[in-house]
Structure 1
Amino acid sequence: MKRFLVGMMSFLLLAACNNPKPDEAAETTPATTETKAQPAEFADPKYIEIGKSGLASMSSGDIDGWSSNWADNIVWQWNNGDSIVGKAAVVQYWKDRRTNNIDSISFSNQIWLPVKVNQTQATEAAGIWLLSWYSTNAKYKTGKRMIQSIHTVQHFDANDKIDRVVQYLDRVPINAAMAK
């Protein structure tokens, strides 16, 4: 047993002596290659602030402030297939909705995820997308409340203006809150 331990220690000592020094290892390591861009990656957190600012403007009734980050060619689409095209039309829709239907609105439990799509994988456009999930609590002019979770997806153009919005929501609680 003693011979075995002495033999093992000798082997380990020889192995340790034969390891290249860190400088030698660096010389024999091949040069690093360029990293290929992933299909998608996290985007700049500044887009989160744009999203949060928009919801704050909507809460206060400042549709002009909210729409200041929209492109002139914005397309606003809902999960049921309805859509509105053009900044003027979308602004008018939300001004009418916020003034004539919604008494107050607030957003809580917000989750934000800015994503940069480098290679399209289906139908989405390349570029910056801001994904958000939040609870919406709206009191309508009817006196009724609508509370639900909403998922919103926003695409930014090359000028950091929102040119596409898709909202995933349930129309049933909205229609119930609007009914007299």
Structure 2
Amino acid sequence: MFRILLHAALVLAFVLAGSCANAMCIRYVPEPNEIDPAKAEVRYAVGMSAAVFIGHVVAMEYVPTQTEHGPGEMLVIRMAARTWWKGAGSEEVRLNTFSYRYSDGTTSWEAHEFPYELGKTYLVYAHGGNDGLYANVCTRTKPVEKANNDMPILDGLKSE
């Protein structure tokens, strides 16, 4: 009986959270008296990001890398970048992922991995440092057609 209740509770938690990955993400929660909660959320996301831009996926390729499990290949998302709100402003961006494949045929990935699709365009909030940029489901990254509310806020923040 305990197993059934535990299983039901886990399923309910994942359904209410939207997905396993989103349930584990830390998100900004605006204060109740926040004048513009959407602007506060976008401002927070920009502050936590190394780069914010619109990018069109032009290639998804595996490149050699060294992992904690030995040599392997990491999936890299190559994007043609157009509009920049924060970051380098280059024409092409490489987003690293935590998706790996190994010579023995095994693969590994993180539950937080963003499901990029070749040929699609995204508003990307990327974090990173010396080892490259990353943008997973815990960032505010989304398909550009779902980003109509963010872009005017980003334009306003850029002019502040």
Could you tell me the TM-score, scaled by structure 2's length?
0.29
Question: Which of 1 and 2 has higher RCO (CA within 8 Å, sep 6+)?
Answer: 2
Larger Rg: 1
Which has more helix, going by share of residues?
Answer: 1
Could you tell me the TM-score, scaled by structure 1's length?
0.27
